[in-house]
Amino acid sequence: MDPYADSLAFGQRLQILRTRRGLTRDQLGGLVGRSGSWVKGVETGRLKMPKLEFILALAEALRVRDLSDLTGDQSLHVDLFAGPGHPRLAAVKAAVDAWPIATTREASPTTHIRARLASAWSARHSAPNHREVIGLLLPELIRDAQIAVRQADTSPERRKAQAVLAEVYSLCQFFVAYQPDAALLWRVAERGLVAAQESEDSYAIGVAAWLATQAHRDSGAAHYDAADAVNLSTLDYLAPLLDDASDDIRAIAGALTFEAGYTAARRGATGTAWRFWDTARAMAASLPAGFYDPVTSFSRAVMGAHAVTIAVELRQGGESVRQAVAAEATTIPSRPRRARHRIEEARGYQLDGQSEVALATLERAHEAAPETIRYNGYAKRIVLEEAESKSPTRRRRASELAVKIGLLAA
């Protein structure tokens, strides 16, 4: 059956989308704070279509990209977990899809490509419009890294080129994520994994696995096992190297350790989630005070933000707020990562019933990096829900923010 057919009732659409995500009724009910029998009642039509807050919660749990796919209301086209499609997406896609096997263009030295890559990461962290910045740089970076692999004369040179190519694909995945081209995202993720393995570079392997873990987890509950498989096997690979490892290797191991906790939190495994977070915190504490990994943001500074994320995913509103307050004194140097942290804080405040604070926190996220909030489904869900609030003040504030991030016309 096609959930996008106009004749289907809301409950039928819900059942089809739930089944496709591999969720039981009890699992979906737990994700939205309801019982499995409530889900059954909605699916069978015994209960009427729920209020907006539950429609948005169901859309989030099912990773529905467009609300009309769930509601059937073709006037309600709101992309939740996909952004509007960046103007530079086509050029980046063309570079990814290119096959420069017969090019006469001479390869740039890998040291030169790596220096440009470092500059691109630096620009991303400092820019409020970070997708625009890296979208401008990526096409040439991708082409040059591909050609460098193709024209490498020796095995060591080829491995170095593969490592650079893997890390260019990592930057590309940040650009492609949450854009309306899931196939491209997976193509980039898989090519990054292959290039990293060919490079035999431990850091490149760790980063590619870190991003693949996120791609699997963001695909929904049916893919959590795949996320864990990539994540935990990479941690096993890195473990023997850590005693004498450089800071960047220890940082990617720490980032992967947190990701294992993040996936556990999505599963609702409270003890496991916090245990992984605590291990990752100890790993971050062993790094130099000013260390900040440019890809994963792993550092001492980010562990407070990670604690907020764990608490939010476990739906622990009070704990989310407590961790948000504890993390407030720490400044995350990356603007997009800081904006993402504000969004996680806003989720926590909303869980705790502090909707005014949640909206104020989303406004701070928008100030830090407008492109981050524009592509974030959790932020859009809060804004849409509060735009229907009974409080005129909250309605006005949410509506103004909705205009800023493109959910409503000015």
Quick: pLDDT tens for 260-275: 999 999 999 999 999 9
Asked if residue 110 lies in contact with residue 161, where contact means CB atoms within 8 angstroms, the answer is: yes
Residue 54 domain-assigned?
Answer: yes
Find the helix or strand (DSSP H, E) in which 20 lies.
Answer: helix 10-20
Whole-model pTM: value is 0.84
Residue 193's pLDDT is: 97
SS3 content of the chain, % helix, strand, coil (to 5): 70, 0, 30
Alpha helix positions (H), 98-246: 110-126, 130-151, 155-176, 182-199, 202-218, 224-238
Place of tokens 């524009």: 374
Q: Cα-Cα-Cα-Cα dihedral of 94, 99, 104, 105, to 10°?
A: 50
Domain finish residue from 38, 71, 104? 71
Residue 222 domain-assigned?
Answer: no
Which of 8-17, 133-142, 197-206, 251-260 shows the lowest mean pLDDT across its residues? 8-17
Domain finish residue from 43, 71, 99? 71
- In terms of domains, do 103 and 186 share one? yes
Which of 42-46, 179-183, 269-273, 391-395 shows the lowest mean pLDDT across its residues? 179-183
- In terms of domains, do 405 and 316 share one? yes
The residue type at 306? H
Q: Which domain, by its residues, includes 145?
A: 86-200
Between CA 373 and CA 65 the distance in angstroms is 15
Residue 167 domain-assigned?
Answer: yes
Quick: pLDDT tens for 267-323: 999 999 999 999 999 999 999 999 999 999 999 999 999 999 999 999 899 999 999
Among 3-17, 39-53, 106-120, top mean pLDDT goes to 106-120
pLDDT exceeds 90 at position 361: yes
- In terms of domains, do 122 and 26 share one? no
Between CA 346 and CA 133 the distance in angstroms is 26
- In terms of domains, do 196 and 172 share one? yes
- In terms of domains, do 54 and 100 share one? no
pLDDT exceeds 80 at position 84: no
Residue 233 domain-assigned?
Answer: no
- In terms of domains, do 317 and 365 share one? yes
Which of 1-15, 173-187, 374-388 shows the lowest mean pLDDT across its residues? 1-15
Residue 132 domain-assigned?
Answer: yes
Domain finish residue from 42, 71, 100? 71
pLDDT exceeds 90 at position 34: no
Local confidence band at 409 (pLDDT 50, 70, 90 cut-offs): low
The structural domain count of the chain equals: 3
Give the domain CATH number at 50: 1.10.260.40
Buried b (16+ CB within 10 A) or exposed e, 187-197: bbbebbbebbe
- In terms of domains, do 55 and 97 share one? no
Which of 45-49, 186-190, 357-361 shows the lowest mean pLDDT across its residues? 45-49
- Tell me the average pLDDT of the chain: 90
Residue 164's pLDDT is: 97
Find the helix or strand (DSSP H, E) in which 281 lies.
Answer: helix 270-285
- In terms of domains, do 91 and 34 share one? no
Residue 81 domain-assigned?
Answer: no
Between CA 213 and CA 371 the distance in angstroms is 23
Which of 152-161, 358-367, 398-407 shows the lowest mean pLDDT across its residues? 398-407
Residue 2's pLDDT is: 55
Q: How far apart are the first and last CA of the chain?
A: 38
Closest Cα to residue 135, out of 83, 172, 162?
Answer: 172
- In terms of domains, do 312 and 370 share one? yes
- In terms of domains, do 18 and 119 share one? no
Q: Mean pLDDT across the stretch 375-401?
A: 89
- In terms of domains, do 45 and 105 share one? no
| Strand ranges for 329-381 from DSSP E | none
Local confidence band at 27 (pLDDT 50, 70, 90 cut-offs): confident
Residue 98 domain-assigned?
Answer: yes
Residue 228 domain-assigned?
Answer: no
Residue 105's pLDDT is: 84
Q: Provide the CB-side half-sphere exposure for 359 (13 A, CA).
A: 20
- In terms of domains, do 131 and 42 share one? no
